[in-house]
Chain A
Amino acid sequence: MSQDYEIVIGLEVHVELSTASKIFCGCPTTFGAEPNTQVCPVCLGLPGTLPVLNQQVLTFAIRAALACNCQIAQHTKFDRKNYFYPDLPKAYQISQYDMPLAEHGSISIDTTQGEKSIGITRVHLEEDAGKLVHQSQGGQIGTAASSLADYNRTGVPLIEIVSEPDLRSADEAYAYLTALKEILLYTKVSDCNMEEGSLRCDANISVRPRGQEALGTKAELKNMNSFKNIRDAIEYEAKRQIRVLEEGGKVEQETRLWDADKGTSHSMRSKEEAHDYRYFPEPDLPVVYLSEKMIADQQQQLPEMPQARRHRFQKEYGLSEYDAGVCTMSPAMAEYFEDAAKKAVSAKVSAKTVCNWITVELQGKLKADGKEISNSPIASGQMAELTRLIERGKISGKMGKDVFADMYVTGKDPEVIVQEKGLSQISNSDEILKMVAAIIAANPNPVAEYKSGKTQTIGFLVGQVMKASQGQANPKLVNQILRDCLDKNI
């Protein structure tokens, strides 16, 4: 490669808001209903109907925009975006054009070079379109002779969050999406479920020789349905554009569709005027006034944001950056950890230990079962109690794992399981001393070896004591007492 190129990425993220009813009518928004069972004259675009804005949509959108540090407009309006497509029964989408709900925001992402601020150009409201099932092998649109339209999703409320072209790599794009998703989950405006289409992302990508100020021609990438897809698609597209330039070609301004199975993208041939949307003000919806009180109310609803919480967990509970990241992945996880950590700390157990048990054992088990932390069969307080038993030497770490497995199945308190199974670890020095003395007497040869300097023999002797105790002695104490005895009577 003769020249060093810089990749420039801007992302457009569509998020379905978690309202009960649609944005302009009372139809339910429940995912997965039978086709065309959640529709009415308004969302079907039948003549003579009038849309009425759902107030909760506005509330959620303001909250999300505030969480992205945006300035909320004093008033905002809706516009019609006109185009013909079978998923859009009205032949226009109600969206926002020149007076969006909010502008000029930013969110902070963690990169390998530290924190970076990514600008948010705007946050606006719009309605979702319907769902099309293409009747062809693999559901490909290009080869389908016909398609089936389901209008249940038509009119589900969306916010579109548009970033500035501030992202410089596929990894930064990934970090931005992760941070944005966390913010949206924390503010409880969306479930951000990508499989159900609650969060969708398009990427604008261009490349330019490093040092050049003018942006290169951008391509728009669509059809990526996971964060990993997005990262792969961006990497592929940047390489493709660099190759075009190096071969002396020109990057075309076009929309490209990502094919996750093939790991490639292809140009979406569209009619030349497909992007002439002829926006005009929606005459059926009045201007919306956003009072200071409405904004202040939502400002109050904002919880501690994920990044701030991550930093606080590191400071307050001594977690590593990685652990703090895992513990703040979702608000439910953060609440679970903090609740357990507080109980642990008040019982003089380190939060770090609790964190390990939660992130390794519990998370591992939940993941394997496809469960969320909110459905954990073990309560946060029980987790704290388990670590307390281990740190106090009541049970060994190994026993802890057995107790944990039992707790996960039965939901019983760890103390109850320890009693029922007679697992209590022997931490009584006198008892251990007796056992140690017996083992020393019974094993003169290993004892002699140890005393002659072959100190690794201690392992064998510890093993013998543990065996004699049927695994119930505290191994740390056994080791310590054994050494004391052997070293003392030389």
Chain B
Amino acid sequence: MTATATTADGHRRTSPILDIDAVLDDPGTRIVVCCGSGGVGKTTTAAALGLRAAERGRRVVVLTVDPARRLAQSMGLTELDNTPRVVTGVEGPGELHAMMLDMKRTFDEIIEAHADPERARQILTNPFYQSLSSSFSGTQEYMAMEKLGQLRRSDEWDLIIVDTPPSRSALDFLDAPERLGRFLDGRLIRILMAPAKAGGRSAFKLLNAGFGLVAGAMTKILGAQFLKDIQTFVAALDAVFGGFRQRAEQTYRLLQAPGTAFLVVAAPERDAMREASYFVERLAEERMPLAGLVVNRVHRSPAPALSAARSTAAAEDLEARGEHDLTAAVLRLHAGRMQLAAREHREQEHFASAHPTVPIAEVLAMPEDVHDLVGLREIGELLAS
């Protein structure tokens, strides 16, 4: 499906148009992942798609991460209880459920599921665990994936829409779980684990003289208590560790399955479009199915026929004559808007020429923030038009 779209300012592009409704209506679509760089509109898009899919008849759950407060409230997400809640106000045959990711709680639940109660308690109260579960830079991404896996396994919904954590780079969503896994599997962990495995003897006795030096240094720099906490933590974690890896790998495979559709969200700005490009390439490498690109917050002018140059010239003329101040100001405003639209269009062209087969949907910038179902519905319509 290659259509030629003509944008408001008369430029033509030949990217295919993203048919959102076809993606949402296809019963084969089980997971839609909205990703993109920070602040581009991932959460808004995910929520809007969820609402639209539900109003078109599907039984949907939206997993949001850090939604804006008012948006969360409008969806009835007032508690962070880590389970989906039905959203009221949906107009149509389907059902919409929504939840906010609680990463610490999700992490706790994995530990509880994989360790006996005593060991779980040891881990949950360890200061390292607390630090890891609430602020390791990849924990949120990892837990978003974990939660997605849980929702999918429960098979309660026929469509799961996932929002991804705010991060600078869209790639973090794919890389962070791997990073956490690699880290937990790392060399240091194994060294620290040695005492547990050798029946309580100090790890460092097992090692050569070089490590003797290390042991001394570690104790001196970090303090003996600190080291002991690390060791307790690592030993306890070892018990549940196999589970971690396995789960992450399962979810990763889920993302490669044909029932998954990735939507890359970007703002029509250089940095965001560049990130979108990287992400599209990466998805291809990972053989993860891309549905298309959503260019969000696009500016257009209701008066595209009046060019920026002509508008500016007319404003200068009026200003020079000292007449019609208001008209001159409106003409300047319009010129600015036309320039912005042209700049945004160039960024989009750039992407389109590098990735000519990627379907694109454009969503206009609303004058106000999107914070209720009415706003979400409107975004959904724009996405589909």
**Do A and B bind?**
no
Residues of B at under 8 Å CB distance from A?
Answer: none
Residues of A at under 8 Å CB distance from B?
Answer: none
